[in-house]
Structure 1
Amino acid sequence: DYYIELTRAIKKELPELHIHGFSPEEVLYGAIRSRCTIREYLTGLKEAGVGTLPGTSAEVLDQKVRDLISPGRITKDQWVEVVTTAHELGIRTTSTIMYGHVESPRHVAAHLGLLRDIQKQTGGFTEFVPLGFVHSEAPMYGKSLVENVRPGATGAEVMK
């Protein structure tokens, strides 16, 4: 697989380099393309030298919101499976939320609750990174593909 071979080649040339790479969506894609399980694929990445994974592609971990803002991409359940499997294998990850689009406070609270539950179960998150929605480059905003999408977070939301 390309990601595993790329990681192996980088570690061969730069063995001291910590590789923080491959989002849960990229891991899922690699496993599907390689016709193996997520656990097998993550094991291959770890053996090749991946140190940690970014917790990106989480967006908001509510499937109805995800279906609006990122249809056809990794599902909430798949994201959770990749991240918890990585943690079980000793691969730590970051965690994220993208806010300022169509989510409500209830969605944010549920997202944070799910991350808290995963952290209690695995202890595998290294940090939490809140990412404000950047509307200027997003087709769902610019092309009005999603109803009621906001142009990013308000100043008050950013400061919370």
Structure 2
Amino acid sequence: MADYESSRFRNLSGYQLKIWNVLLFLIPTLGISYILSLYSYFSILIYREQYIGLFLALILTSIYLAVPARSNEKNKKNAPWYDLLLACLGLTVGLYIAIYYPEILTSFGIITLERLLLSVTAIVLILEALRRLFGWILTGIVIFVIAYGLLLHISQVLYKVRGHHLDNY
């Protein structure tokens, strides 16, 4: 049995533990229902991306509830207010994708302030969750790949490649 004093996860209690247990129960349950295509028995059309958005919501929420920002954090019993805020933001971003994906699909090229803010929030939340679970090395590699894609238009003369400038969007 893992010792909670040396574990990287919080030893949650109360309502946070109940929410975390429900989230951890829903993740494989939704995965199994997607694999078995249970929604097709009810004549409901659900896109794959809606499931992915729902998984993103559940996983980000469970990570921010259970994994502290620093390994030497004093309060290992309950999540602090900022982790609860990040968990709510993760739930919001994932549920937005799950609920509004058919609308996103029909107006894919239209960039609104709402979509821009939610996408930047999702990227930051995913990077922070990656840092909490795997450390700075993998997070740095992902940031480098994102920056490379965004800044490729600057070095296209050197490498003879075609980049995408942000003004095109």
TM-score by length of 1: 0.25
TM-score by length of 2: 0.24
Structure with more of its chain in helix, by fraction: 2
Higher Cα Rg: structure 1 or 2? 2
Structure with more of its chain in strand, by fraction: 1
